[in-house]
Amino acid sequence: QVQLVESGGGLVQAGGSLGLSCAASVRIFSTYPMGWFRQAPGKEREFVASISRSGGNTYYSDSVKGRFTISRDNAKNTVYLQMNSLKPEDTAVYYCAAKRGGSYALLENQYEYWGQGTQVTVSS
Q: What is the DSSP string of 29-93?
A: GGG--EEEEEE-TTS--EEEEEE-SSS--EEE-TTTTTTEEEEEETTTTEEEEEE-S--GGG-EE
Per-residue confidence in pLDDT tens, the chain, 124 aa: 899 999 999 999 999 999 999 999 999 999 999 999 999 999 999 999 999 999 999 999 999 999 999 999 999 999 999 999 999 999 999 999 999 988 889 999 999 999 999 999 999 9
Q: What is the pLDDT of residue 50?
A: 97
Q: What is the pLDDT of residue 101?
A: 86
